[in-house]
């Protein structure tokens, strides 16, 4: 529902700063995009690290703090998405950059979709957009 473009912009700039080209699939009607990238040899069979950039909507939920601001209470952290896919996304991004610098012999890809939490709506068009832009991936880790 909400835009993910500030996050996608940041990821794209971060990867570019490390010499990695990122590609986007932009939603045709809404302000959101998927992002994908490839490092290593330009061959098929890459391990694909696949994450999503949205969180479950908070409509009608009884939050007593702002769900989009991490709040520390009783030695725990509370906030929407604080231990969800976003931790994996950060590690996948780190792994892609590390693989790039290591000069891996087998390719690695990053694929960040949108609207996963409301029905996996962003993954299918992103997969189509990847075809012909990056080599076909192999095993996918979500």
Q: Please name the residue that has the structure tokens 């990821």.
A: 11
> Is 2 among the residues known to form the active site?
no
For residue 15, count CB atoms less than 10 angstroms from its CB and return exposed for 0-12, middle for 13-18, buried for 19 or more: buried
Q: HSE on the CB side for 64, CA within 13 Å?
A: 2
Q: What is the rounded end-to-end Cα distance, in angstroms, of the chain? A: 21
Among 12, 54, 89, 115, the active-site one is 54
Please identify which of the residues 12, 89, 115, 116 carries the catalytic annotation: 116
CB 23 within 8 A of CB 133: yes
Token duo for residue 17: 């700063």
Is 12 one of the catalytic residues?
no
95 contacts: CB under 8 Å, gap ≥ 6: 49, 108
Q: What distance in Å separates the CA atoms of residue 64 and residue 28, rounded to the nearest whole number?
A: 36
Kindly list the catalytic residues.
Answer: 54, 116
């Amino acid at each position: 529902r909400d835009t993910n473009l500030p996050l996608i912009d940041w990821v794209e700039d971060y990867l570019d700063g490390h010499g990695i080209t990122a590609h986007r699939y932009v939603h045709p009607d809404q302000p959101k995009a998927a992002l994908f990238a490839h490092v290593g040899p330009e061959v098929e069979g890459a391990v694909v690290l696949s994450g999503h950039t949205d969180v479950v909507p908070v409509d009608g939920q009884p939050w007593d703090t702002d769900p989009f601001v991490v709040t520390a209470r009783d030695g725990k952290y509370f906030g929407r998405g604080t231990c969800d896919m976003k931790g994996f996304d950060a590690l996948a991004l780190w792994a892609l950059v590390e693989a790039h610098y290591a000069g891996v012999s087998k390719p690695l890809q990053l694929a960040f979709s949108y609207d996963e939490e409301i029905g996996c709506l962003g993954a299918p068009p992103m997969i189509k957009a990847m075809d012909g832009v990056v080599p076909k991936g192999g095993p996918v880790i979500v």
